[in-house]
Amino acid sequence: MKRAIVAGATGVTGAALMEHLVGSGRWNVVGLSRRKPELPGEFQHIAADLLDAEDCRAKLGSLTDVSHVFYSAYVEKSDPGELAEVNLRMLRNLVETVTNAAPSLEHVHLVEGTKWYGSHLGPFKTPAKESDPRPLSEPFFYYAQQDWLEAAQRDRQWTWSAVRPHTISGFSLGSPMNLTTVIAVYASICKELRLPLRHPGTPTNYHILYQAVDAGLLARAIEWMATSEQCQNQAYNVTNGDLFRWESLWPRIATFFGLEAGPPAHFSLQEFMADKEPVWERIVKKHKLQPHRFEELAAWKFGDFVFSSEWDVISDCGKARRAGFCETLDSEEMFLRLFSRFRQENIIP
Residue 162 CA to residue 165 CA, distance in Å, equals 10
Helix (H) or strand (E) holding 168: strand 168-169
Q: What letter represents residue 249's amino acid? A: L
- For the chain, where are the alpha helices, taking DSSP H only? 12-24, 53-60, 80-101, 141-153, 179-192, 215-227, 246-256, 269-272, 277-287, 294-297, 300-308, 318-323, 331-344
Residue in 29, 206, 5 with CA at minimum distance from that of residue 95: 5
Q: How many residues are listed for the chain in this entry? A: 349
- Which residues have a Cβ under 8 Å from the Cβ of 160 and sit 6 or more positions away? 107, 108, 109, 110, 149, 150, 153, 232, 233
Give the catalytic positions in this structure.
115, 142
Contact in structure between 23 and 85 (CB atoms under 8 Å): no
